[in-house]
């Protein structure tokens, strides 16, 4: 086999017969709008290297270019805007982010607006209100439970009238008296005890006090009772003419004498320490008629006070 060299005419004919390729055109790039371009404030210089070639290019390249062109064309500002509203979170520095951040700060400031000392002050005030309410309930429950005072008897161990003179030397009749008074005290309190005392117990003839005494202080437990005995005495009490109608023999009375007995029993309860201390006062008033014994050496008989006294 022999190789034939091509002549110049053949080369010329081949060149004339083959189509002349056009020079390569410059490549164009499509710039996609940035995510923040819809608000007119910022534009991100992101270029998608999607070359657009001339229609005279190869079919493969043309198909890829056309698909890229369609894809980039679908990402228009209008379509990106809807996508941005659905998925894009506001960035720090944007107006939307600043508004949300300001609202959050307002809420935080509102929650933190009450200082801690105000909570402590509210707790203290609430505690005192509740405690005062509880104390008021205890006081109201204890107040109706007044103690009972029942007068029992009075006995005159000595009742003597003699002539004499007072401290200034004025001559008058003088009275010496020794009396024992008994009464029953009952604490009706169901949940508290009481401390009991009394005012001065006065045994008088009209307005003239002949004998005095007082209760020795004691404590009575809840629902407890006791018999109280008090000694009244008076020595050398001047009558100043008050006993002119009295009939006496050898210093002893031979006729009845009306007397008055007055005093107040005071009871104080400590229900809640010294914070709740209800007080109870029972005023006793008795009208007594002293009757001397018929015999000189007759024993002293106690006088019943069951129907002679009032207790308020």
**234 alpha-carbon distance from chain centroid:** 56
Given this model, what pLDDT does residue 199 score?
95
Query: What is the residue whose two structure tokens read 């509210």?
Result: 122
| Strand positions, DSSP E, 19-130 | 28-31, 47-52
Average pLDDT across the chain, whole number: 75
Report DSSP letters for 102-151, one per residue.
HHHHHHHHHHT-S-HHHHHHHHHHHHHHHHHHHHHHHHHHHTT-PPEEEE
Angle 180-308-201 (CA atoms, 0-180°, nearest 5)? 40
Residue 181 and residue 151: Cα distance in Å, rounded?
A: 9
Given this model, what pLDDT does residue 98 score?
53
Provide mean pLDDT across the span 262-287. 94
pTM here is: 0.59
Residue 17: which H helix or E strand, with range?
A: helix 8-17
Residue 65 and residue 56: Cα distance in Å, rounded?
A: 12
Query: Which of 60-74, 108-122, 133-147, 205-219 holds the top average pLDDT?
Result: 205-219
pLDDT 10s digits, 14-38: 444 444 455 555 555 555 555 444 4
| Strand positions, DSSP E, the chain | 28-31, 47-52, 148-165, 171-186, 194-198, 201-205, 208-213, 218-220, 225-238, 248-249, 252-253, 257-269, 279-290, 303-304, 309-311
pLDDT 10s digits, 152-173: 999 999 998 888 888 888 888 8
Given this model, what pLDDT does residue 169 score?
84
Nearest to 310 by CA among 260, 256, 258: 260
The yes-or-no verdict on residue 71 having pLDDT over 80 is no
pLDDT 10s digits, 213-235: 999 999 999 999 999 999 999 99
Query: Which of 61-75, 87-101, 135-149, 189-203 holds the top average pLDDT?
Result: 189-203
Pair of tokens at residue 307: 């129907």
The yes-or-no verdict on residue 268 having pLDDT over 60 is yes
pLDDT 10s digits, 82-140: 444 444 555 555 555 455 555 555 555 555 566 777 888 888 888 888 888 888 898 88
Residue 191 and residue 194: Cα distance in Å, rounded?
A: 10
Given this model, what pLDDT does residue 13 score?
44
Given this model, what pLDDT does residue 116 score?
76
Residue 290 and residue 309: Cα distance in Å, rounded?
A: 15
Provide mean pLDDT across the span 258-274. 93
Is there a contact between 31 and 47 (Cβ–Cβ < 8 Å)? yes
Query: Which of 206-210, 214-218, 246-250 holds the top average pLDDT?
Result: 214-218
């Amino acid at each position: 086999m022999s190789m034939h060299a091509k002549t110049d005419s053949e080369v010329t004919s081949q060149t004339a017969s083959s189509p002349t390729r056009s020079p390569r055109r410059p490549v164009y790039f499509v710039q996609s709008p940035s995510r923040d371009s819809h608000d007119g404030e910022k534009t991100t210089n992101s270029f998608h290297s999607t070359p657009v070639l001339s229609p005279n290019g190869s079919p493969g390249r043309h198909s890829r270019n056309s698909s890229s062109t369609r894809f980039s064309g679908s990402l228009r500002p209008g379509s990106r805007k809807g996508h941005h509203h659905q998925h894009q979170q506001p960035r720090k520095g944007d107006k939307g982010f600043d508004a949300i951040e300001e609202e959050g700060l307002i809420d935080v400031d509102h929650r933190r607006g009450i200082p801690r000392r105000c909570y402590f002050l509210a707790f203290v005030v609430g505690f005192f209100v509740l405690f005062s309410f509880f104390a008021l309930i205890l006081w109201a429950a204890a107040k109706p439970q007044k103690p009972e005072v029942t007068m029992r008897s009075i006995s005159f161990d000595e009742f003597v009238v003699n002539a004499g003179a007072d401290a200034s030397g004025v001559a008058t009749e003088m009275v010496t008296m020794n009396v024992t008074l008994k009464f029953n005290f009952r604490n009706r309190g169901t949940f508290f005890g009481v401390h009991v005392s009394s005012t001065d117990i006065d045994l008088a003839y009209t307005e003239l006090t002949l004998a005095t005494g007082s209760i020795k202080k004691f404590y009575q437990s809840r629902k407890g009772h006791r018999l109280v005995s008090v000694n009244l005495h008076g020595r050398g009490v001047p009558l100043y003419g008050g006993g002119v109608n009295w009939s006496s023999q050898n210093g002893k009375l031979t006729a009845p004498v009306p007397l008055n007995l007055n005093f107040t029993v005071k009871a104080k309860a400590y229900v809640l320490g010294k914070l709740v201390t209800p007080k109870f006062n029972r005023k006793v008033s008795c009208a007594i008629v002293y009757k001397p014994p018929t015999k000189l050496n007759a024993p002293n008989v106690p006088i019943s006070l069951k129907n002679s006294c009032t207790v308020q």
